Chain A
Amino acid sequence: MNRQRYRQAILTAGLALSALSVGIQSAEAQRGAPSLGATNDSIETFTYGPCNGPSLYQAVDGTSASYASCYHNWGLTYANSVVIFSRTAAERNGALGNPMPTGNPDATNVAQAGLKRLLLAAGVATVTIAETTSSIPGQGSTAGAVVFLDNSGDALWDHGKSVTPASNTVSTTTSAFTTQGYVNLRQYLRQGGGFVAIHNAVGTERNWNYYVGLLGNASTYDSAAIQPGTVQIEASDSSTVGVGSPGTQFALGTAGVGGDTFYNLVPYPTNVKYLATVLEGSLTTKKSVHPGHGVFHPVAWCQYYDGGRAWVTTLGQDPRLWADLSLPINQPGGANYFPGAAQFQSMVVNGVLSAMGKVPFCT
């Protein structure tokens, strides 16, 4: 084996401070990278173990790195299929509607049905909806991608098995295995699987470090009120090309009607490709406890992680974001028109397709 390694020593705290000041200056000179701004984000690179990063990472100090080799190209053949996993184990966003033990959406399951409709329209052959942990793709799965849609709490935990009586105390067979969902997701990523997190999937499994790493070293801290905001594209990517070039802005939501919650993030996503931000100047209220991210508030990003692909967005609170835009009522001028739905849908659909590898991923 002749595997060259390049190791990077984390700088000491003193050196880090000077590097931060350089970073601030660089970020002011160009968008596409975060800075501390006037806020309280620590942007140290958290280490969750697995290889993680985008194909081309532009750091705040102007250097760059490629993490494309994080992808495990084992030559597996994946189906043209997507699994939507929308289980909640705590709060449940209204867009998800009623629990779905059978996987068949009813009229209340707006987000699941909307995403399924969009993916089918985009050429995905098979889209299944699941709210049981056993449905998470695992080792050997041929699913093209799994979408974590608006989950909450410890959604990967098999709570049902925790009530099996004391026979589980001593050795048993798989009936004692409460963490199959976690192992499945891990092994699926390691074989090169695709993962997409939408909205409160970023606030799920906060005590599972591997998952926080999968989210791009990021996790929801809190959010302000539901409100409209202006989203800005930050990078050219398969998942943003349908909206516009970097700098393109669009309004999401309407005052008095709805918008999004624009999560504040701790940890702040690092070593990812930042795809879109919300302009905090467009927000009426910026914070509850967290002071907000100032000049660079990410709302979508991507990275390779532990052999797989991960595409993440914090957007998706409002059920109207999933509206069928082929209906005139949902078009501009229509009674139910919701600004930003078209751009949101374009980003999500292309994000899923990129996580599947059907279009270039996180370039």
Chain B
Amino acid sequence: MNWQQVGKVMIGTSLALGATAASAQAAPGTYPVVPRLYNNVAESTENYNYGVCSTFGSSPEALSCYHNWGVVRATSTQFPNGKVLLFTRTAGPRHASIGTKLPPGLNPPLASNNNTQMDMIRLLNAEGIAVDYTEDINAFTNLNQYAAIIFFDGSRESMWNHGNYVVPSMAVSTSTTAQLDSAKIALRQYMRAGGGFVAVHNAFGTEYNWPWYEGLLGNGNYFDHGGFRNGNVEIAAVDPSTVNIGPPGTEFAFKDEWYTLVPYPTNVKVLANLDIGTQTSQCTGLPCYYTTGNPTLPANQTSGFEPITWCHYYDGGRAWLTVLGHDVSATSDITQTAPTPGFPGRPEFQRHLVDGIKSAMGLTPFCT
């Protein structure tokens, strides 16, 4: 099967008639008119276009996607390396690792089961980085003080101000209190001012119906996952967020759900993959297309890969994204026994995550 596809590239902002491809066409198939799987992979890798720039690397063209406006971020004597905002609001399924929903406001008291929040504060404070945190959409403001915003889990329409639905007077209100989507605009404008964005785990599976956000995720979005299972992370590229783990080909054991993705991430720098052959069990979700390939083939496929971490510049800012981080153990204190017995790879994953955050903050080179 010829997998050539016609992508569409917009030049500038002008919309104009484009002639369709004049060459390299596949002949119409015979029934059933479905394409053969290519290389046992069944994702369409058309280049989605979200209307804003998306680049990676160090070329002038790539770097021109970054808006170097010289925005001054907050620092302090105690935390000289700046400050980040950790956002864990859910508007749908909620991961156990982030615990009970937080009270309103910025930096409310944490409960003993808000493990991920406490872990991230500990990990980043140790790097000289301050952490604000919230699950209150009304506190998603004043963002330019942060060198990065971290979406750790969360779910569905987490950027929506549901509370404003219920005030009938807002039908004719002309005040800003009627606005339902102020957080979306705040995130967009933050990125355009050269901000940093980090998505962890179920930050995929969030805001499916907001195309700009799907583009921010690297033209990749959660489709589903198989079981919580062991597998090896394989470093795929030299990068400030991988250099402290090892060169490409370096592997470390980990345990996660290894999300499958539609759309398949495009136009990004892939930093790490799941080495499919190292899984201790096969993907059991739907469709498990990366791990089992063509379902008519034996399920014990032992080769191939699946992207799990990547980065790109997007709409003026930096975005570093990983689908890993399902289990509470992933960010847990490595000087203590893991909450999930035998959970592997904590030092490597945490190094990867923290270095990724630092690159998105601009503390190191980014997505080179």
Contacts and interface: CB of A to CB of B under 8 A. Distances in A.
**Are A and B co-members of a single complex?**
yes
Interface of A: 1-13, 15-16, 19-20, 23, 42-47, 49-51, 53, 55-57, 59, 61, 63-76, 139-140, 162-166, 168-174, 176-179, 182-183, 186-187, 190-191, 208-210, 271, 306-307, 357, 359-363
Contacts of B7: 5-8
16 contacts: A4-B3, A45-B8, A55-B33, A64-B25, A68-B34, A69-B26, A70-B44, A70-B46, A71-B34, A74-B42, A168-B162, A170-B103, A170-B136, A210-B209, A210-B211, A360-B31
Contact of B39 (A2, A10, A65, A73): A2
B227 interface: no
A177 B91 contact: yes
A150 B214 CA distance: 30
B157 A72 contact: no
Interface string B20-34: 111111111101111
B262 A16 contact: no
B104 interface: yes
A69 B1 contact: yes
A285 to B, nearest CB: 29
Question: 6 tightest CB-CB pairs across the interface, nearest first?
Answer: A169-B163, A168-B162, A75-B295, A16-B16, A171-B101, A74-B287
B182 to A, nearest CB: 13
A10 B15 CA distance: 8
Contacts of A15: 16
Given A71-B35, A173-B92, A307-B44, 15 more contacts: A3-B3, A4-B4, A7-B7, A51-B44, A57-B20, A68-B35, A69-B44, A70-B44, A74-B287, A174-B92, A178-B162, A179-B209, A182-B208, A191-B286, A363-B33
Interface of B is mostly: loop
B119 interface: no
Given A3-B3, A168-B162, A64 B20 contact: yes
B275 interface: no
Given A170-B89, A307-B44, A361 B8 contact: no
B201 to A, nearest CB: 16
Interface stretch (B47-55, B74-82, B189-197, B349-357): B47-55
B251 to A, nearest CB: 19
Contact of B157 (A11, A70, A177, A187): A177
B33 A68 contact: yes
Nearest to A45: B18
A72 B91 contact: no
A169 B161 contact: yes
A130 B294 CA distance: 33
Given A170-B101, A187-B223, A66 B138 contact: no
A19 to B, nearest CB: 6
A341 B275 CA distance: 57
Contacts of A166: 163, 166
Contact of B263 (A44, A50, A64): A50
Contacts of B156: 174, 176-177, 179, 183
B185 interface: no
Contacts of B48: 49-50
A177 B92 contact: yes
Contact of A8 (B1, B8, B31): B8
Contacts of B46: 50-51, 70
A176 B166 contact: no
Interface in B266-319: 286-287, 289, 294-296
Contacts of A12: 11, 14, 16
B90 interface: yes
B165 interface: yes
Contact of B18 (A6, A44, A51, A190): A44
Given A2-B39, A55-B33, A164-B166, A140 B17 contact: no
A10 B31 CA distance: 32
A263 B162 CA distance: 35
Contact of B25 (A47, A65, A307): A65
Nearest to B163: A169
A139 B92 CA distance: 16
Nearest to B18: A10
B296 to A, nearest CB: 6
A9 B9 CA distance: 5
Nearest to B292: A75
Contacts of B50: 49
A245 B328 CA distance: 62
Given A49-B49, A66-B25, A173 B94 contact: yes
Interface string B67-106: 0000000000000000000001111111000000111100
